[in-house]
Amino acid sequence: GQNIDQPTEMTATEGAIVQINCTYQTSGFNGLFWYQQHAGEAPTFLSYNVLDGLEEKGRFSSFLSRSKGYSYLLLKELQMKDSASYLCAVKVTNAGKSTFGDGTTLTVKP
């Protein structure tokens, strides 16, 4: 089976840094994605990791440890518009099938 765990909710302050963790146990691994989803809207791509290490992209960074089945998304200089759900997804087959976690709802407060 596939199991992806993320915290359900997190709260942080505008201008701060927040780390959203994701652990996974899947039948296959061909990469890990992070998506942002605002309520009622479509998920939008944030990052992709297939090798261990940190990928930095502006205010957002994503880290992967394949041996630990662990990833995190780091958001710096938080803005109010960063309030959203953040979805961790593992590509379980090379054909592209992905399994999504239930998402972490991040609330950014002034």
List 1, 53, 67, 94, residue binding other proteins (CB under 8 A): 94
Q: Does 99 bind other proteins (CB under 8 A)?
A: yes
SS3 label, residue 4: strand
* Site stretch for other proteins (CB under 8 A), options 16-24, 42-50, 62-70, 75-83: 42-50
Q: Are 50 and 31 in contact (CB under 8 A)?
A: yes
Q: Does 27 bind other proteins (CB under 8 A)?
A: no
Backbone dihedral angles phi then psi of residue 80, each to the nearest 5 degrees: -60, -35
Closest CB to other proteins among 69 and 91?
A: 91
Q: Least distance (Å) from other proteins to the CB of residue 58? A: 17
Residues at the interface with other proteins (CB under 8 A): 30-31, 33, 40-45, 48, 50, 87, 89, 91, 93-103
